[in-house]
A and B are shown apart, each in its own frame.
Chain A
Amino acid sequence: MKILIADDNSVERLILSKVLEQEGHEVVQAETGNQAIDFFFRHSPSLVFLDILMPDIDGYEVASAITRGEQSRWVPIIFLTSLTDAYDLAKCIDCGGDDFVSKPINRIIIKAKVDAFSRIANLYETIEQQKSEIQFHNDHLIQEQEAAKKIFNNIAHRGCLAAGNINYHLSPMSIFNGDLMLAAETPMGGMRLMLADFTGHGLPAAIGAMPTSEIFYGMTKKGFVIPDVMTEMNTRLHSVLPRGVFCCVVVADIDALDERITIWNAGAPQAYIIDLESGDVEQVHSNHLPLGVQSPQRFKVNPQVFSFSKKHKLLAVTDGIIESTNEQGEMYGEERMLHFIQNNLKIDNLCSALIDQIVEFTHDAEQGDDLSLIEVAFPHHHLEQQTAADDDEVHAQTGTLDSNFSLCLRGKSLGKFDPIPLLLQTLLECRELTPHRSRIFTVLSELYNNALEHGVLGLDSEIKSGSEGFAKYYQMRTEGLVSLREGFVKVEVDHRPLKDGGEIIFEFVDSGKGFDFKKVIKSGSKHYSGRGLPLLMNLCESIEHFDDGRRIRAVYRWHAKDPEDES
């Protein structure tokens, strides 16, 4: 270790340097205060011995000059003093000294002090080194998180969250808070939304976002219903999520055609379906454990169905909102929130008003980063806009262009198995049908639901009218399906190529009592609840009923785009 000695007394200097040299240190000697300052910055010693009384400037000034000038490293200063006055000793420390030794010089004391300071200096250096290592790792971590954020955001993309009927609040780093918001247009022409909240923070919370959003977008596009999608998600999350991590969700389908919402809450705070005209607020409580908790065998999804039209709004939140806490330790709570909603029915952007209200409540603008909420109004039906063609068109003639297949669902499988995705996927093996996905889905599901609900179950669509009608209708549908032992729906699909495209002939036969289709067509033209026939007639080239309405044949005509038309 290089040590600077500043002392005007040559005898003291000689003895001290001898002691230090014997311990293996390199010694630099200064005879005056000014020389000491000069030598300090020229030789960069690791330790300084300073005499107090020197002829030019005293040790106190030298110490001040050294500590002022040396910012980057810590160099201990030990005063040599024959002074014993407490005031003088205190002054040594005040001006930047670290310790003092009294004269005459004692070899053992000097050695002990130097060893002690050498250890402290080593420790100090180690800490500095570790500090820069931690800094390095921290920078690295932030970089990785940024990269991970980009990857996650590509996979767990926002879908159609930007749609005009949606307001939402979600922090850019929300994925690392475990919050996930997904939205997609369903092939049926409505919208599906999901607000998910994974337990925990950081990467473990973000891991689940990948399979969740893949399944959400993948299965929604193929037309799977909520129970199927949630079952698949639960199965995947149950196998991939670490113990103790699970996912609270609110998922909802808004059917723009039938003006209804199908909603399921598993472990999330209650969602609100707000009637903006009457001020009624329907609260949808959780009726299931969160995703990822239960084994696939015990998992069961029972969504609720409500009427949902242009006068309605859906609001879903994560527990960050409810649990926002103010300085007094008081939680924002569900009661306050419900009160706020009821008092602000006319506000266009309830979402940002609610965030403002919570920031005001907590007096903490930063807390806003942990809050996720979504507000959804009635969506436009995208089939009403005749531009509805997907852009991922492929022109190769492949797959099921020239084919015939049929499927018959009997008793127990009716209502438990949803054949629409299967039929749709089989048809879409013909790539040219890709732009027609939504229309074909709509035709298939309308025809199937008519056959099942009105045919096999014999439900009257008139039940749906009236304020309690919706709930009653779907209650009856669920009960009917549970007790169903007999009956069938038979589907036959015949796909034939034509010169400029092709036609698909759908034939549905059910075991029901049949119906007076002429009457239904007449009354149905006024509103959609009459079996969706007007829409079907709009989408198909022809609709024919046979066998007292037990058999229906619909012809869907499609025209291939001439590749050379494209510009």
Chain B
Amino acid sequence: MSAALDLQIIDELKLIMGDDIGMLLETYFSDSVIKIQELSEIAERSHSEVTDDSDIIRRTAHSLKGSSKNVGAKNLAQLCELLETNARNNQLENLSIQVEDITQAFEVFKIEIGQLLSS
């Protein structure tokens, strides 16, 4: 049982979207790349100086969490939720590591969902 995929949601999604599931995932991927890119940039900046970007981080993480849940990216959604909570509580000491984890989980999801749908 994969930690990256929520199979129940993905089955539901296949039912809803039918042939358009590829298009939906493409949208998801391109949206998410931009959001992860935003998070990475903030993480790099805050490496050197103190940041007050916690509000942007919270919103971005919230949005990424939402769309990830919808496409069944279970692990990724959980990581986003953790970052969202930390940002709300201003606990961003491990921001770089968390963003790194999110980037990785995104890559894993891309691969696994690709395999699942092509099988």
Chain A residues in contact with chain B, CB under 8 A?
8-12, 14-15, 18-19, 22, 53, 82, 103-107
Contacts and interface: CB of A to CB of B under 8 A. Distances in A.
A11 B17 contact: no
19 contacts: A9-B67, A10-B31, A10-B67, A11-B24, A11-B27, A11-B28, A11-B31, A11-B70, A14-B17, A14-B23, A14-B27, A15-B13, A15-B24, A18-B20, A53-B62, A82-B62, A103-B70, A104-B70, A107-B12
Interface string B48-85: 00000000000100110111011100000000000000
Nearest to A11: B67
Contact of B67 (A12, A18, A22, A106): A12
A18 B71 contact: no
Contact of A105 (B20, B27, B63, B70): B70
B79 to A, nearest CB: 16
B35 to A, nearest CB: 10
Contacts of A103: 66, 69-70
B1 interface: no
A8 B60 CA distance: 12
Nearest to B13: A15
Interface string B1-24: 000000001001101110010011
Interface of B: 9, 12-13, 15-17, 20, 23-24, 27-28, 31, 59, 62-63, 65-67, 69-71
Given A11-B71, A12-B66, A12-B67, A18 B16 contact: yes
Contacts of A11: 24, 27-28, 31, 66-67, 70-71
A166 to B, nearest CB: 86
Contacts of A53: 59, 62-63
Given A10-B27, A11-B28, A22 B16 contact: yes
Nearest to B24: A14
Given A11-B27, A12-B66, A107-B12, 13 more contacts: A9-B31, A10-B67, A11-B28, A11-B70, A11-B71, A12-B67, A14-B17, A19-B16, A22-B16, A103-B70, A104-B69, A104-B70, A106-B12
A108 to B, nearest CB: 9
Contacts of A107: 12, 15-16
Contact of B63 (A8, A15, A19): A8
A419 B17 CA distance: 102
Contacts of B63: 8-9, 53
Nearest to A14: B24
A18 B17 contact: yes
A203 to B, nearest CB: 62
B27 A15 contact: no
Nearest to B17: A18
A10 B27 CA distance: 7
B22 to A, nearest CB: 12
